[in-house]
């Protein structure tokens, strides 16, 4: 049983959440209902608590997972992220509450910046916030693809933003070795640094030996990496090549164990983009954020600089996976119970009616919202939603 007021979650709560790759797509009968219900929920939360609160909740992995389950999609598949964001994009457009979603899955993920630019062209965004939103979109994607090296390749990126430039990011990567996805959440409303523990949460299976350059213990290593790229080309090449050739075996011996995902996670990358490193030298980044945004700077360069900073300068690195865990309930595959179409349509209708009545007095609005709390989204049978 989920009501608008019950969608307040303690940000400290944790549980277990797997996101395996499932084939297929959302059936049309379900997706258009997801669009309607997502728009109604978004409008209800924004009306009751404000647009910033809606953005904050989207950045909460627990709320987002419950939101997806209320919409009736898979309880634990990778499509939980992609289809929910797709439905939410259309739902926000129909609700017209001053919040938009740009980006998406695959080639649509690269359209996030174009979507932000279009929002400026049609007057939704002022020119003063466009550059900041574009930078946030690019930097959040670069952090999760290069600074957090957890074996997951990003394939979904969505940025949700209001007309004042507040934003949340929901993006997802897939691990080819395991077939499981990982979802990353960000929010400008709680962000103090893009490179120092910036996430509001990360959902997925915990992995061994993840190089996490966003860990607070890596502050010195991040600064050393910035200093290294300002060195002359012969010196930086010498430092990296010596690590590639001379120190490799000692690193292997230091690690000295195998695990199910491969061998020796401390290994230096075999190939370095020397052209990109030369570009770094020419650009002279002032901080780690600027380093990440330089074209061509990816996992190999970040990893090489990190390991040189550790081996040569003694900086501490983090090999702990920053993943957080979430929980799961319902789903279109009948797990743990099938979608009740009539109940879903009724819930959408109730939310819409609550919004219409919100123009009335406070007591009338509360009474309208209370009606929703009396309605079950799932069958009131022997299979109630539960935390896993």
| Angle subtended by helix axes 362-373 and 341-357, to nearest 10 | 170
**pLDDT above 50: residue 369:** yes
- Half-sphere exposure (Cβ direction) of 345: Cα atoms closer than 13 Å: 6
| Other Cβ atoms within 10 Å of 8 Cβ, number | 12
Residue 154: burial class (beta carbons within 10 Å; 0-12, 13-18, 19+):
middle
**pLDDT above 80: residue 222:** yes
d(CA 148, CA 178) in angstroms, rounded, equals: 18
Over residues 347-361, mean pLDDT: 63
Q: Residue 154 pairs with which residues in a beta bridge?
A: 173
- Half-sphere exposure (Cβ direction) of 28: Cα atoms closer than 13 Å: 0
**Degrees, nearest 5: CA angle 118-121-125:** 85
Question: Tens digit of pLDDT for each residue in 306-329?
Answer: 999 988 888 999 999 998 643 333
d(CA 227, CA 76) in angstroms, rounded, equals: 43
Question: Tens digit of pLDDT for each residue in 20-51?
Answer: 444 556 667 778 888 999 999 999 999 999 99
d(CA 107, CA 110) in angstroms, rounded, equals: 6
pLDDT of residue 351: 64
| Other Cβ atoms within 10 Å of 13 Cβ, number | 12
d(CA 145, CA 298) in angstroms, rounded, equals: 8
Percent of residues, the chain, with pLDDT higher than 70: 68
DSSP string, 151-210: S-EEEEEEEEEETTS-EEEEEEEEETTTTEEEEEEEETTS-S-SSSS--SEEES---SS-
d(CA 36, CA 3) in angstroms, rounded, equals: 16
Instruction: Give SS3 for 339.
Output: coil
Question: Tens digit of pLDDT for each residue in 223-246?
Answer: 999 999 999 888 888 888 776 665
pLDDT band, residue 118 (cuts 50/70/90): very high
> Is the bond into 336 cis (omega within 30 degrees of 0)?
yes
User: Residue length, the chain?
Assistant: 388
d(CA 239, CA 219) in angstroms, rounded, equals: 20
d(CA 22, CA 255) in angstroms, rounded, equals: 35
d(CA 52, CA 46) in angstroms, rounded, equals: 8
DSSP state of 218: G
Residue pair 160/109 in contact (Cβ under 8 Å)? The answer is no
Question: Tens digit of pLDDT for each residue in 134-145?
Answer: 999 999 999 999
Q: Residue 180 pairs with which residues in a beta bridge?
A: 20, 175
SS (H, E, C) 84-114: HHHHHHHHHHHHCCCEEEEEEEHHHHHHHHH
Task: Enumerate helices (H) and strands (E) in the chain, giving the number of each.
Answer: 14, 9
**pLDDT above 50: residue 337:** no
Question: Tens digit of pLDDT for each residue in 272-291?
Answer: 899 999 999 999 999 999 99
Residue pair 158/138 in contact (Cβ under 8 Å)? The answer is no
pTM, to two decimals: 0.77
Question: Tens digit of pLDDT for each residue in 163-194?
Answer: 999 999 999 999 888 888 899 999 999 999 99
The C-alpha R_g of the chain, in whole angstroms, comes to 23
* 66 phi-psi bin (left φ>0, alpha ψ -120 to 50, beta other): alpha
**Degrees, nearest 5: CA angle 334-338-342:** 160
Instruction: Give SS3 for 214.
Output: coil
d(CA 292, CA 275) in angstroms, rounded, equals: 15
Residue 88: burial class (beta carbons within 10 Å; 0-12, 13-18, 19+):
buried
């Amino acid at each position: 049983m989920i009501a608008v007021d019950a969608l307040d979650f303690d940000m400290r709560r944790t549980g277990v959440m797997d996101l395996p790759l499932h084939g297929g797509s959302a059936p049309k009968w379900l997706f258009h209902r997801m669009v309607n219900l997502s728009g109604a929920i978004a409008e209800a939360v924004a009306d009751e608590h404000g647009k910033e609160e809606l953005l904050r909740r989207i950045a909460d992995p627990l709320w987002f997972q419950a939101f997806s389950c209320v919409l009736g999609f898979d309880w634990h598949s990778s499509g939980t992220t992609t289809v929910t964001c797709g439905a939410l994009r259309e739902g926000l457009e129909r609700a017209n509450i001053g919040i938009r979603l740009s980006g998406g899955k695959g080639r649509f993920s690269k359209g996030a910046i174009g979507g932000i630019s279009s929002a400026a062209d049609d007057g939704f965004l002022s020119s003063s916030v466009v550059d900041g939103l574009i930078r946030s979109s690019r930097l959040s994607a670069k952090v999760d693809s290069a600074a957090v090296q957890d074996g997951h390749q990003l394939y979904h990126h969505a940025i949700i933003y209001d007309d004042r430039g507040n934003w949340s990011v929901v993006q997802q990567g897939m691990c080819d070795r395991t077939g499981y996805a990982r979802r990353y959440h960000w929010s400008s409303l709680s962000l103090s640094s893009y490179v120092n523990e910036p996430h509001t949460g990360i959902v997925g299976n915990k992995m061994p030996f993840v190089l996490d350059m966003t860990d607070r213990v890596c502050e010195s290593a991040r600064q050393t990496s910035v200093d290294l790229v300002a060195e002359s080309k012969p010196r930086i090449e010498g430092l990296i090549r010596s690590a590639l050739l001379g120190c490799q075996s000692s690193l292997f011996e230091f690690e000295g164990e195998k695990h199910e995902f491969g061998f020796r996670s401390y290994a230096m990358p075999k190939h370095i983009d020397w052209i990109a490193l030369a570009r770094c030298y020419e650009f002279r980044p002032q901080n780690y954020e600027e380093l990440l945004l330089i074209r061509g700077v990816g996992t190999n360069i970040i990893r090489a600089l990190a390991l040189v900073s550790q081996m040569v300068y003694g900086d501490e690195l983090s090999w702990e996976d920053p993943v957080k865990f979430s929980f799961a309930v319902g789903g279109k595959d009948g797990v743990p119970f099938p979608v009740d179409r009539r109940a879903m349509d009724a819930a959408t209708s109730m939310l819409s009616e609550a919004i219409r009545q919100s123009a009335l007095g406070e007591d009338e609005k509360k009474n309208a919202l209370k009606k929703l709390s009396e309605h079950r989204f799932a069958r009131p049978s022997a299979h109630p939603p539960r935390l896993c």
